[in-house]
Amino acid sequence: MIRFSANLGFLFADRPLPDAIRAAGASGFHAVECHWPYDTPAREVKQALAETGLEMLGLNTRRGDVARGDNGLSAIPGREAEARAAIDEAIDYAAAIGAHGVHVMAGFDQSIAGGHTFIDNLDYACTRGARHGLTMLIEPLNEHDAPGYFLRTTEQAADLIQDVGASNLKLMFDCYHVGRTEGDVITRLRTLLPIIGHIQFASVPDRGTPDSGELDYRTVFSEIRALGWTKPLGAEYKPAKATEDTLGWLQST
């Protein structure tokens, strides 16, 4: 059986995070994940998780100064102190709520220096995260949605994971981003499986529900199951209406 996680950055996002967790549990999800939960006290999130019995798969490091266009800090030379403060904050919060992982956001820099900075900050994050049993995740973002983002392809991510050499550094494989940038999603899933820490999905190209778009998720989910993947898959799509009214795919899967 395939299990699913609700990404609460998009799903049930019209309510406070603890209530979104409860709504996800009531809707039949097996786990949750989120983007930036830091305005919500960790104890409230932990209580909602305990009430529902859901796992919190992961959360993101802060983006930085969003008003100035930041979308992560860890691959930006000269901002190492901010990046590591964001990493520390994310790890501490994840540990407090019993989350499984942290997505370390790279940011908008595609320079060689940015690559060196990212490796150094990932090494720091992996060392600190390992003390709490956390998996650190990196995710390529497609150029249509995030032009100029440092991490753009799964090949680039695989090289970084090899360069850092930490056992708790893994790839966040988002079928949506891979579908828009690289295509051939199933072949890439097969090839990259040993380094994948989490899988997310949404329709291509509009990032809607998985029962629409160019990518046949019935086939993708079947392949993921055949590969022996047992962790919940992250539903990170943008609902066009109330989340509860978009879950026909969940009941039919």
pLDDT at 6: 98
Average pLDDT over residues 85-91: 98
Pick the CATH number of 4-252 from 3.30.420.40, 3.30.365.10, 3.20.20.150, 3.40.50.300: 3.20.20.150
Q: What angle do CA 32, 180, 87 make, to 5 degrees?
A: 45
Query: Residue 252: which pLDDT band, with cuts at 50, 70 and 90?
Result: confident
Report residue 248 as tokens.
């026909």
What percentage of the chain exceeds 90 in pLDDT?
Answer: 98
Q: Please write the tens of the pLDDT for every residue from 117-137.
A: 999 999 999 999 999 999 999
Is 89 designated active site?
A: no
Q: Which amino acid is at 188?
A: R
In the sheet where 169-174 sits, what is the strand order? 55-56, 31-33, 4-7, 233-235, 196-201, 169-174, 135-138, 101-103, 58-60
Provide the pLDDT for residue 177. Answer: 98
**Residue 152 banded pLDDT, cuts 50, 70, 90:** very high
Please check the confidence at residue 251 and state whether its pLDDT lies above 90: no
Spell out the domain ranges in the chain.
4-252
Amino acid identity of 218? Answer: R
* Beta-sheet strands, E only, within 147-212: 169-174, 196-201
Q: What is the pTM of this model?
A: 0.97
> For 40-77, how does the pLDDT look when each residue is reduced to its tens digit (9 = 90+)?
999 999 999 999 999 999 999 999 999 999 999 999 99
Write down the catalytic residue from 89, 139, 143, 244.
139
pLDDT digits (tens, 9 = 90+) for 162-212: 999 999 999 999 999 999 999 999 999 999 999 999 999 999 999 999 999
Our answer to whether residue 244 is catalytic in this structure is: no
In whole angstroms, what is the distance from residue 235 CA to residue 3 CA? 10
Residue type, 52: T
- Give the Cα separation of 11 and 243 in Å (integer): 6
pLDDT of residue 74: 98
Average pLDDT value for the chain? 97
Q: Which of 44, 51, 236, 244 is catalytic?
A: 236
